[in-house]
């Protein structure tokens, strides 16, 4: 009898809940800056372009961290590495509460980005170990839904802390949560070690390939390039909204701090529903349609829902804004568990580095996108202020009108990005979607 036969069965739901909570803490640390951006712009004296640059530095640090953590996870395993990553990013978030200037903010934000990359390398490896291909989208949905849960809880928490104790307290409070999670993880995993990976999903025998040979095989596999398009398409949609929608609602639509936090609560509740709903639908459709077709059609449906950004940005009516935000939330987060499940089809034992490579590619592009978005909004606003003041408008009134006009087109176009992933799946991914492709067996 081997060791795996005497080990206790992992409590799948409990471990998935811990993954959800880790992602919740991850996003709470990340979103604290987004929710308090106007306050920090005043306290540390920086503008929207600098804000976009800070987010861009988070992204480039995340890209580097994704590679590093991916290699570490494949080498040492996700189970022992996970709590280390959580503690380190919690320390980076906590330290943000002590910064005195913009440069200190960028340093802490970069450290946070580097360390937060551990969450996805670890979490995706663990859901792969726990679940069959049919169930992975649902398990990934629980894991990913922590992004929405963190986004639901963060706005009111940090706003209340900021208003009552100052903005540093918000960063410090969120920062300490990771230590409690790390203790819970060690206790649960000590009692219930993870099972061995499930059978029936091998795409290549990593044990017989050197690292260089694996990379060569990976880059020659068209599914990898399909995933490279998908990962940027869905993240550009999600992260640009995460970063800029709070400012759009407050500056472009005139929402107060509390009103913006309330609206975003409903947006992220809808996103949570989307993350779980996509997995549930695929689990129901897969026995009839097959794994690939069910994933494709649900992915298409979610991509169409993100197009709600167009009426949200261009039609100034609360009767349009709130339904559009809900539809956008469901679609935006519903895409991620499907992408994760497709990525889990490519490799047996090198999921960490695969996740890291794709994340690094994505965050390098997001680095450029965040810088561009900050530049575009600030430049548009400044040019419009100058034009209106030249026509005789008061400076304060000119700034109000210019800020209102700087966002809509950019917000509208962001929601179209996931359609690129639909085209990639349709044109690039093997139509069977379920073949076991072994290096060399298909002539590549």
Q: Do 355 and 121 meet the contact criterion of CB atoms below 8 Å apart? A: yes
Helix, strand, or coil (residue 386) = helix
pLDDT(441) > 60: no
Residue 363 has pLDDT above 50, yes or no: yes
Single pTM value for the model: 0.77
- The topology under which CATH files domain 7-194+210-427 is Growth Hormone; Chain: A; (1.20.1250)
CA distance 130 to 11: 9
Q: How far apart are CA 101 and CA 43, in angstroms?
A: 8
pLDDT in tens, 183-216: 999 888 877 666 554 444 444 454 566 778 888 8
pLDDT-derived band at 253 (thresholds 50, 70, 90) equals confident
Token readout for 187 is: 């206790």
Q: What is the pLDDT of residues 139-190, one digit of tens each?
A: 888 888 887 788 778 877 887 888 888 888 888 888 889 889 999 998 888 7
How many CA atoms lie within 13 Å of 27's alpha carbon, on the beta-carbon side?
24
Mind listing the pLDDT tens digit for each residue in 51-97? 878 888 888 898 889 999 999 998 888 889 999 999 999 999 999 98
Confidence label for 402 from pLDDT (cuts 50, 70 and 90): low
Examine the pLDDT at 2 and tell me if it is beyond 80.
no
Q: Show me where the domains of the chain are located.
A: 7-194+210-427
C-alpha radius of gyration, the chain, whole number: 22
The answer to whether residue 408 scores a pLDDT higher than 90 is: no
Per-residue pLDDT of 227-245, as tens digits, reads: 999 999 999 998 888 778 8
Q: In this predicted structure, what is the pLDDT of residue 227? A: 95
């Amino acid at each position: 009898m081997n060791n795996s036969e005497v080990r206790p069965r992992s409590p799948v739901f409990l471990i998935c809940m811990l993954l959800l909570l880790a992602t919740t803490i991850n996003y709470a640390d990340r979103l604290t800056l987004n929710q308090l951006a106007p306050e920090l712009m005043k306290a540390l004296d920086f503008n929207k372009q600098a804000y976009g640059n800070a987010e861009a530095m988070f992204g480039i640090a995340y890209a580097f961290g994704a590679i590093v953590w991916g290699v570490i996870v494949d080498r040492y395993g996700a189970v022992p590495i996970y709590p280390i990553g959580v503690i380190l990013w919690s320390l980076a978030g906590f330290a943000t509460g002590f910064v005195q200037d913009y440069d200190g903010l960028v340093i802490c934000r970069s450290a946070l980005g580097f360390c937060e990359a551990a969450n996805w390398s670890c979490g995706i490896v663990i859901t792969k170990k726990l679940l069959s291909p049919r169930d992975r989208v649902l398990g990934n949905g629980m894991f990913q839904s922590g992004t929405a849960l963190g986004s639901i809880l963060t706005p009111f928490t940090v706003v209340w802390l900021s208003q009552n104790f100052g903005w540093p307290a918000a960063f410090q409070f969120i920062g300490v949560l990771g230590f409690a999670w790390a203790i819970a993880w060690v206790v649960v995993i000590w009692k219930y070690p993870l099972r061995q990976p499930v059978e029936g999903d091998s795409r290549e025998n990593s044990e017989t390939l050197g690292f260089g040979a694996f990379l060569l095989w990976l880059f020659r596999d068209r599914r990898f390039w399909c995933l490279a398009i998908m990962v940027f398409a869905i993240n550009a949609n999600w992260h640009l909204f995460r970063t800029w929608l709070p400012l759009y609602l407050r500056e472009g639509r005139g929402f107060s701090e509390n009103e913006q936090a309330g609206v975003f609560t409903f947006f992220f509740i809808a996103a949570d529903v989307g993350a779980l709903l996509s997995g549930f639908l695929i689990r129901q459709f897969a026995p009839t349609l097959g794994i690939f077709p069910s994933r494709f059609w649900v992915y298409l449906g979610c991509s169409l829902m993100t197009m709600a950004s167009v009426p949200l940005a261009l039609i100034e009516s609360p009767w349009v804004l709130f339904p559009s935000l809900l539809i956008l939330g469901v679609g935006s987060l519903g895409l991620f568990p499907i992408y994760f499940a497709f990525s889990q089809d490519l490799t047996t034992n090198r999921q960490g580095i695969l996740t890291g490579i794709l994340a690094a590619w994505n965050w390098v592009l997001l680095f450029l996108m965040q810088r561009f978005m900050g530049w575009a909004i600030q430049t548009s606003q400044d040019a419009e202020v100058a034009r209106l003041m030249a026509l005789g408008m008061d400076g304060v009134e000119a700034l109000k009108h210019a800020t209102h006009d700087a966002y809509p087109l950019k917000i509208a176009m962001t929601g179209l990005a996931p359609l690129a992933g639909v085209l990639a799946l349709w044109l690039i991914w093997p139509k069977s979607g379920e073949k076991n492709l072994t290096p060399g067996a298909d002539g590549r």
